Amino acid sequence: MPAGWHGLLLAVLPALALGLLLLAPLARLMLEGFSGQLQPVEASSWSRPWQDSYLRWRVLWSLAQAAITCGLALLLGLPLAWVLARFEFTGRRLVLRLLMLPFVVPTLAAALGVLALWGPHGLISGWLGINLQDTPWLLLYGNLFFNLCLVVRAGVDALGQVNARQVAAARSLGASPWRAFWRVEWPAIAPWLVASLCLVFLYCFAGFGLALVLGGQRYATVEVEIYTLVAHELQLAQASVLAVWMLLLTGGVALAYAALEKRLAAPLRTAPVARQRPQGGAQWLALGGALGVLFGVCALPIVAIFIKAASALWTGAAGIFDEEAWAALQNTLQFSALALALATLLGVLHALAAQASVVWRAAAFLPFVVSPVTVAFGLLLLYPGLTASLPLLLAAYAVLAYPFVAKSLSAGLDGLPPHLGQAARTLGASPWRCFWRVTLPQLLPALRRGMAFAVATALGEFAVTLFLARPEWATLTTLIYQRLGRPGQANLDAAMVLACVLMALALAAFLLIEWPVREHSEHHLQRPGSHLSVSSPITPHA
């Protein structure tokens, strides 16, 4: 395996990608906020988001909806995680696998799923006779769809680290199950849950697609306001100020998460509490309730999209698969394939270089911290002449997707037994021959896992395409958004069908690349740090 200066040489291409497509656009964005070259900016512009009542509401609501989602995710996720961690039942392994599905569902497909349930003429809202349009419920439910499973999975992993001897000792001393949980289990799992909630907050606070479709005029977030200022009002300096504030706020939360992940990096060797089959009606009821909540929050929007799409096709909706739709499908497949190839190359190089540098390993988190809206806006300011160029669009896709490959490969490299590489080197193999003949075959499961999340990210990318693409480069995500903006039931039906196609593509690509890998390991995500950073950072949900 390459090491030393060989490993540092491998970092040249990923460093150029991060520098030119992430750090430089961020620097240009901050410069725009400070200088206001495109239009005069008052000295008090940096405090304007807190002085202007409209912008202050946007910022405070962005913070509030993220905090409310964290509270709801913890309130629902902790008991769900406890049930899945402590009970053994038929299908448990499948349920844990299905917890990953929301991470690969494109943002707009999830938003359409929420509308299919709770929007005008939704499956549930129509049956109940209620109207949830222009209410915060739609956005909060969409946030829970993406993030509840993250807290549940982190809780399951954390409860697997609880020492069974300590729990048994507490019970033998007369502690009730509740008292044993709060005095023994909760202190052990709290840091893991807090780490997952940091990411939930980041995903919700920096989310774009869900807020754009579900937030409406009143409950849109700061990310949507930045897009509106750039695309519709051409207020670039004001948008820059908001983007910088977003970067500072998300950066603070990301630092808190990084500190927690470092604390949890070393897995504990404990005797886990043995799982048992539910005993009695109360435990079976708890299990059934937990599975019902998971289905209602994490699976029902997906089912609703298929139902709405099937209904639209059954009623003979015309004009859905027109020339525009086929062109968008072709663009989506081509852009995603090219972005995946480039992301794989960058991810492999970054992971190998990270073995020689702790700082470089941490650099893989940079695209996770910055929202795609901020990246796209920075690229728009820095490279105005390349805004409508396909290489810049694909490069932005790859930069947002390649950290999944890098993080997955880094975790795989950490788990490799060192004696195999040492034996190959002793027999005269060069570092490159050792990598290709010994290391790479063992890393294929991790590589495929990272590629699965990368291709799901590329297929569902929305914000960058909205900022940088030409009209003829419309993808399924942008076409869905365009159909939603057109009046008439036919356009809504078309959007549902296209969302169903997009979701099916993402799920098929994910399963085709990653599913065989999982047969080798039931529980490859061994700690919240590796699971949280690899499975869902900001990119797929933005």
Report how far residue 204's alpha carbon sits from residue 284's, in angstroms, rounded to the nearest whole number.
33
Calpha distance 267→261 (Å, rounded): 11
> What residue has token string 């063992």?
442
Q: Convert 169-185 to b/e letters by CB count within 10 Å (16 or more is b).
A: ebeeeebeeeebbeebb
Distance CA 205, CA 210 (A): 11
Mean pLDDT of all residues in 165-175: 79
Q: What's the pLDDT score for residue 263?
A: 60
What is the reported pTM? Answer: 0.79
Residue 141 pLDDT: 92
What's the pLDDT score for residue 516? Answer: 55
Q: What is the CA radius of gyration of the chain?
A: 24
Given a cut of 90, is residue 321 above it in pLDDT?
no
CB atoms within 10 A of CB 71: 12
| Averaged pLDDT for residues 84-106 | 83
Q: What are 5-34's pLDDT values in tens digits? A: 455 567 788 888 888 888 888 888 777 766
Cβ atoms < 10 Å from Cβ of 115: 28
> 222-240 burial, b for 16+ CB within 10 Å, e for fewer?
bbbbbbebbeeeebbbbbb
pLDDT at 75 over 90: yes
Q: Under a CB-based contact definition with an 8 Å cutoff, are residues 404 and 513 in contact?
A: no
Tell me which of 3-12, 29-38, 178-187, 526-535 is least confident.
526-535
Instruction: Using pLDDT thresholds of 50, 70 and 90, give the confidence band for residue 520.
Output: very low
CB within 8 Å of 295: residues ≥ 6 apart: none
Mean pLDDT, the chain, whole residue set: 78
Q: Which conformational region is residue 174 in: left (phi greater than 0), alpha (psi within -120 to 50 degrees), or beta?
A: left
pLDDT mean over 377-394: 83
For residue 515, is pLDDT > 80? no
> Which range, of 2-6, 52-56, 272-276, 379-383, averages the lowest pLDDT?
2-6
Rounded CA-CA distance 150/195 in Å is: 11
Domain boundaries, the chain: 5-271+286-541
Mean pLDDT, range 143-166, rounded to an integer:
85
Three-state SS for 277? coil
Quick one: pLDDT at residue 65?
Answer: 92
Rounded Cα–Cα distance for residues 51 and 55 (Å): 8
Q: How far apart are CA 473 and CA 327, in angstroms?
A: 8
User: What percentage of the chain reaches a pLDDT higher than 70?
Assistant: 79
**pLDDT for position 317:** 58
Measured CA to CA, the distance from residue 463 to residue 343 in angstroms comes to: 18
Is the predicted pLDDT of residue 92 greater than 80, yes or no? Answer: yes
- Those residues whose C-beta lies under 8 Å from the C-beta of residue 66, and which sit 6 or more positions away, are 143, 200, 201, 202, 204, 205
Write out the two tokens for 170: 């507490």
Q: Report the pLDDT averaged over residues 180-199.
A: 82
Burial (CB < 10 A; 0-12, 13-18, 19+), residue 302, is: buried
pLDDT of residue 431: 61
The pLDDT value recorded for residue 456 is 85
Strand partners, 87: 276
pLDDT for 507 beyond 60 = yes
Residue-wise pLDDT for 341-353, tens only, equals 999 999 888 888 8
Q: Could you tell me if 506 and 108 are in contact, meaning their C-beta atoms sit under 8 angstroms apart?
A: no
Q: Tell me the average pLDDT across 388-414.
A: 84
Q: Residue 106 above 80 pLDDT?
A: yes
Higher pLDDT pick, 324 / 340: 340
What is the DSSP track for 417-470?
Answer: -HHHHHHHHHTT--HHHHIIIIIHHHHHHHHHHHHHHHHHHHHH--HHHHHH--
Return the number of other C-beta atoms located less than 10 Å from residue 215's C-beta: 23
Angstrom distance (rounded) from CA 257 to CA 263: 10
In sequence order, what are the residues at sequence separation of 6 or more whose Cβ sits closer than 8 angstroms to the Cβ of residue 428? none
* Three-state secondary structure call for residue 369: helix
pLDDT of residue 528: 31
pLDDT confidence bin for 424, thresholds 50/70/90: low
CA distances to 296, 425, 477 from 133, rounded to whole Å, are 20, 64, 22
Q: How many Cβ atoms sit within 10 Å of the Cβ of residue 33? A: 22
Q: What is the pLDDT of residue 74?
A: 92
User: For residue 176, what pLDDT band results from cuts at 50, 70 and 90?
Assistant: confident
β-sheet bridge partners, residue 276: 87
Per CATH, the number for 5-271+286-541 is 1.10.3720.10
* Structure token pair of residue 330: 């072709």
User: What is the rounded distance in angstroms from the CA atom of residue 459 to the CA atom of residue 464?
Assistant: 12
